Amino acid sequence: MKEKLSALKDEANLNIQKAATLQEIDEIRVKYLGKKGEFTEISKSMRNLSPEERPLFGQLVNETKTFITNLIDEKNLVLKNEAKKEQLMSEVLDISLPGRDVSTGGLHPITETMNFLKGIFTDMGFDIAEGPEVEFTSYNFDALNIPETHPSRDLQDTFYMSENVVLRTHTSPVQARYMEKNQPPFRMVCPGKVYRNDYDISHTPMFHQMEGLMVGPDVSFANLKAMLEQFVTKVFGETKVRFRPHFFPFTEPSAEMDVQCVICKGEGCRLCKHSGWLEIMGCGMVDPAVLEAGGLNSDEVSGFAFGMGIERITMLRYGIDDLRAFFENDVRFLKQFK
């Protein structure tokens, strides 16, 4: 009996060592320790022993069962841990994989330049004003000293909505409207879209302008020059400027301002047509007739005005040579300004 028990113990031990899965260890538990298990059977056979031998053998059986139970529990724990580890390994996340980019848009270069220029003028104390894009001829032409016979009123240049309503051909009518509502001294700029009936490599039917106006008791051409020189430095860095006499109906005297070519620094290149200079904007002292039309007394106040094309400034800032690129909405072009 003792030998049989000892053999059973060795056999169980060996099986437990070999068990590789939780299911196998469960089967071993049933096989040896279950209701009909091997050890239960051997306990039953104790009745064949003499009463003196029984307690001793019973104790031996119990010790062996405890030993085997402990072995099974240990093995069970080891296998459970392994299973857990395996599960963790199989569910592991690869955090080294690159993430997906969220693609964001950017500002259109015209909008970006417009915001940039607005910032420069508000820093210098200018107000930002806006006005309607569909405008009365009285504001678009009459208030700005542009007579009926002026060529810019021609149907070929202007989009007429009706006899006295047009798509504004410049942002100047905003200045006329501003003068009606505000008392000098004041300084303002009006950025926005304007429309002309024109389309080629350097003209589009819609483009952007920014005009400015400063009116006060002693506003002089020297003030205009100083302000514009400061403005140009902020846009293009340290550079030379020059003023050329010009004619505009709404200013007197009038000038065009050039900056030294940003590409060749005055040496002469294709962009500046080998002159070394780039035309940037028109400017001048506000014609007294325009001040009077705005309800101001030209004996008491004077003012200067200036105007520039936003597309032109943007092209010079970024070195873009075709105006149409701004309006073709080619994503490859626009992406460069993000």
Q: Which of residues 182-211 bind Zn ion (CB under 5 A)?
A: none
Total binding residues for Zn ion by CB under 5 A?
6
Q: Which of residues 256-295 bind Zn ion (CB under 5 A)?
A: 261, 263-264, 269, 271-272
Nearer to Zn ion, 46 or 320 (CB): 320
CB of 243 to Zn ion, least distance (A): 19
**From CA 129, how far away is CA 126, in angstroms rounded?**
9
Residue closest to Zn ion, measured at CB: 261
CB of 271 to Zn ion, least distance (A): 5
Compute CA distances 227 → 181, 249, 251, 252, 268, whole Å: 24, 22, 17, 18, 27
Consecutive H or E run containing 331: helix 331-335
**Nearest in space to 191 (alpha carbons), one of 216, 215, 170, 167:** 170
**From CA 251, how far away is CA 144, in angstroms rounded?**
9
Region of 31-39, 144-152, 201-209, 255-263 interacting with Zn ion (CB under 5 A): 255-263
Region of 34-42, 143-151, 254-262, 300-308 interacting with Zn ion (CB under 5 A): 254-262
CB of 236 to Zn ion, least distance (A): 13
Nearer to Zn ion, 154 or 322 (CB): 322
**Nearest in space to 251 (alpha carbons), one of 230, 217, 281, 208:** 281
Residue 314 and residue 322 in contact, taking contact as beta carbons nearer than 8 Å = no
CB of 257 to Zn ion, least distance (A): 16
Nearer to Zn ion, 273 or 338 (CB): 273
CB of 274 to Zn ion, least distance (A): 7
Distance in angstroms between the alpha carbons of the first and the last residue of the chain:
90
Distance of CA 188 to the CA centre of its chain: 29
Nearer to Zn ion, 99 or 319 (CB): 319
**Nearest in space to 32 (alpha carbons), one of 67, 80, 59, 1:** 67
User: What tokens were used for 307?
Assistant: 């105007």
Nearer to Zn ion, 120 or 264 (CB): 264
CB of 194 to Zn ion, least distance (A): 27
Nearer to Zn ion, 32 or 277 (CB): 277
CB of 313 to Zn ion, least distance (A): 16
Nearer to Zn ion, 1 or 269 (CB): 269
Nearer to Zn ion, 5 or 278 (CB): 278
CB of 314 to Zn ion, least distance (A): 18
CB of 258 to Zn ion, least distance (A): 11
Compute CA distances 173 → 64, 154, 326, whole Å: 108, 18, 25
3-state secondary structure 125-176: CCEECCCCCEEEHHHHCHHHCCCCCCHHHCCCCCCEEECCEEECCCCHHHHH
Nearer to Zn ion, 82 or 267 (CB): 267
Residue 169 and residue 152 in contact, taking contact as beta carbons nearer than 8 Å = yes
Compute CA distances 25 → 13, 19, 80, whole Å: 11, 6, 11
Chain residues binding Zn ion by CB under 5 A are 261, 263-264, 269, 271-272
